[in-house]
Chain A
């Protein structure tokens, strides 16, 4: 059983998270400020930490920095601070994910799972490498049997969606405009203004992303095109 440390100065939030994660089968340790969290970490074996930023005493940012001094354990920051600067700061000092309050409980659970999977399976990633298998973080495309899995969960895609995703994954980091994608997938010149590609992309995102509005894999470069981020 995996152990998760939840640290927030709001007890109700800690309890709510406990309820969700317990129902998923995790053991929960609770702390209400940074110091407590550090103490719990010393005493117990913890697999993942969910940390609030604004806490009395030692805040989330400084706690994260302390933990990172001697541990590579996954840390998800959970904060009411939703501005870009706060997210960038949190991720830069060593957090693995950043979720803003108020959050969708299901998304939280999904992200926790994702982080744990990556942390535990990090060692044996290279062994399965194959020319027909494309990986991008938790996103795996097996071109032999046309199977797509995200965090080991199979995802059902239409043939066009599958082709678009494959195009983007094969050229990870490259930005494709709508016209380019249209030409490559439909093999014909785009006629008139058509949002078909955009609609398909949205559908793909809804299927492979935990939160389609804040995609991890399939990113929108506004006014330019789409790309799969290098993980």
Chain B
């Protein structure tokens, strides 16, 4: 605890230094532990090793036991051939070979030794041999022939040439020596010397009751064998063994039978290993080796776990504190971290190269001076690995600090390049961008496919590496294409949204805005442009509405201001008339004044009404009313005025009612204006035709209704139309377009001599449209025709 407290009170850089040193130290420990485990004799056994198993239970013991069993069988096989006592007779015949039709030679052991020595082999005491010199060219001492008999297979003898038994003298001699060597060592190790392996094999002839015994412990019986740690009892007449050794090969019994000198199955074998190892032999050595290795392995394992844990913890700690300093939350960037990211990486590479060169030229040589030659390779590798690891740490922490300070991307050449490209691309037309992008895309794909082909066809590497590389390239192609697809999807979804916005704008929804937060590049410009258009439209519409209202207000106010002086004028003109004036000239002037002041009065009233009607600033009280009744009432009102002008009203109205939905006063105003218009402009003593008819809706309305019906899925009824038509012959020539007549202040007679404000038809049209009716004027020569149409209520 004290150490920990001391550590935590240290300044940050000391802590970092401590952590780094700890990290490196424990990394070395980890490697040492791994090395210890690797260099263990029994590598491959696995983690089982750390459990406390005795040597006798290992496969190593088992293998050694099985090996010794087969050695014993060989010994049995060759005892007669090579001799049972200590010395091997040099004069004993070992080989008969036939080199020619009458050229058969017999070789004793001495002859073979002599033969091999003359061919450059050196024989040791235990008949193992080493080739010490090579005779150049074909060995003159060697010759080939047919083997008639060898000591290896003492039971087989051939008398003549047989292809299967052809061989050279030297080869045959060497294999005889091998066999002899095995026999000899087995004899010495197991029989001549004391051994921890005790065995006793007895063959007995059932006919003669002779027995032949092979043993190194005559006292061994089936009973006392179990006092040794490991034992095996193999009765010859049964395939069942009595043993505590797990893996005795199945061919042991057949092998035992094969070397039976008698015919029959009366034999048994008893073998045991004294696991107290009282004698120093191969078993005791292996056992003590195994114990030592086990200790090493456990030690290495512990070191590896401990080292990797501590080095991992210190590394994590370093990752956490990297870039932080005492007393501040900011990320501190070293000078090297303040360079561009690519520069930093390049510097790291240069440092790594320099470190490599330095290690190669200086450190490795120093190591070579102090270390024995066989460890040079390991030392070189370790030094380079260490240097590489340090460089890697350096680069990693530099990148880590940049990452923490969020400058990896922002402070890089790639970013600058990317920004420049993006800037350059933004103002290019889509066509140029598309072409460039497509070429780039093709290039990348072609390059990667080429690389794929190149690795597959032109580079010779181990199969697994080639496959790994091919897979990497394939994955890269797939990722790149998916990336491009992703970009395309994004771009087109942006375009879709832009198109959607344009549709909405076109439909008049000027308040719709594209959410540009996910846009970039030229699409961003486009989307912002469309948003601006929307803003502009909205402003324009708002301004228009505002200015219409302002205009209506202005006209209303002005007309109020005109009315007050007009009141005085009218009143005083009237007062003048009351003075008994008899002068006809003055009376004429007065009449003109009266007329004009009255006209001014109408004009101001019409003006207000026209501005209100056209701006829709009028309240409509829509009720059901009968158009026929209304026209009758109106014609009654105008009867005397028509009579004044000698106009004959010809009315055609149906007997039935024609109920429509309209505002009574406004509709009266429409009809009144039309009648007034007729009174003013119709040719004297002519006929005025007023028609009220019912007619079906026109084709366009029917089609629209049919479409609506298919959309809604239910039939839509189309009401008939009530049509009011008034026709008259104009007194003056109508050289004017019908549409212009409904404009404000336009009158049929350009001279404007007649009474009227020129607003009547304009007011009539505006009011009709406000009541959802249609107002139409047709001029055919001097024929003036006005038509007002409303839907008939069902």
Which residues of A are at the interface with B, using a C-beta cutoff of 8 A?
10, 12-13, 16-17, 19-20, 54, 80-83, 100-106, 177-178, 192-202, 220-226
Contacts and interface: CB of A to CB of B under 8 A. Distances in A.
A23 to B, nearest CB: 8
A101 to B, nearest CB: 4
Interface in B592-622: 597, 601, 605, 608
Given A193-B651, A198-B637, A202-B636, A224 B629 contact: yes
A105 B567 CA distance: 9
- Place the interface of chain B in its size category: 35 or more
B572 interface: yes
Contacts of B563: 80, 82, 100-102
A20 B572 CA distance: 10
A169 to B, nearest CB: 19
Contact of A222 (B601, B633, B639): B633
B597 A102 contact: yes
Contacts of A12: 568, 571-572
A202 B633 CA distance: 9
Given A201-B636, A224-B625, A102 B570 contact: yes
B764 interface: no
A80 B564 contact: yes
Given A178-B632, A221-B664, A82 B625 contact: no
A86 to B, nearest CB: 10
Contact of A193 (B566, B653, B665): B653
B636 A54 contact: no
A206 to B, nearest CB: 9
B571 A105 contact: yes
Contact of B605 (A10, A17, A82, A104): A82
Contacts of A222: 625, 630, 633, 664-665, 667-668
Contacts of A80: 559-561, 563-564, 567
B500 interface: no
Contacts of B632: 178, 193-195, 197-198
Nearest to B654: A193
B567 A13 contact: yes
A101 B567 contact: yes
Top 5 A-B pairs, shortest CB-CB distance: A198-B636, A223-B625, A222-B664, A223-B630, A16-B571
Contacts of B565: 10
Contacts of A101: 563-564, 566-567
B715 to A, nearest CB: 30
B574 interface: yes
Interface in B626-650: 626-630, 632-637, 639-640, 649
B675 to A, nearest CB: 11
Given A195-B635, A195-B636, A195-B639, A102 B566 contact: yes
Contacts of A83: 556, 608
Given A223-B630, A224-B629, 16 more contacts: A12-B568, A13-B567, A20-B571, A20-B575, A80-B567, A83-B608, A102-B570, A102-B571, A104-B570, A193-B652, A193-B692, A195-B635, A198-B633, A198-B639, A200-B636, A220-B668
Contacts of A82: 563, 605, 608
23 contacts: A12-B568, A12-B571, A13-B568, A13-B571, A19-B575, A102-B563, A102-B567, A102-B570, A103-B567, A178-B633, A192-B653, A194-B632, A195-B636, A195-B651, A196-B636, A198-B636, A198-B639, A201-B633, A202-B640, A222-B665, A222-B667, A223-B629, A224-B664
A105 B574 contact: yes
B629 A177 contact: yes
Contacts of B527: none
A192 B605 CA distance: 37
Contacts of B559: 80
A2 B628 CA distance: 49
A111 to B, nearest CB: 15
B225 interface: no
Interface in B522-581: 556, 559-561, 563-572, 574-575
Most chain A CB within a 10 A radius of its CB, from B571, B637, B651:
B571
B730 to A, nearest CB: 23
B689 to A, nearest CB: 12
Contacts of B232: none
A100 B635 CA distance: 26
A223 B575 contact: no
Nearest to A81: B560
B651 A225 contact: no
Contacts of B177: none
Contact of B564 (A10, A20, A200, A201): A10
Interface in B175-202: none
Contacts of B601: 102
B257 interface: no
Nearest to B635: A195
A10 B562 CA distance: 13
B152 interface: no
A16 B575 contact: yes
B652 A223 contact: no
A186 to B, nearest CB: 15
A183 B283 CA distance: 145
A224 B572 CA distance: 40
B662 A223 contact: yes
Contacts of B667: 222-223
Interface string B148-182: 00000000000000000000000000000000000
B552 to A, nearest CB: 12
A202 B630 CA distance: 14
B636 A197 contact: yes
Nearest to B692: A193
A16 B635 CA distance: 37
Nearest to A201: B636
B639 A16 contact: no
Nearest to A223: B625
A105 B664 CA distance: 30
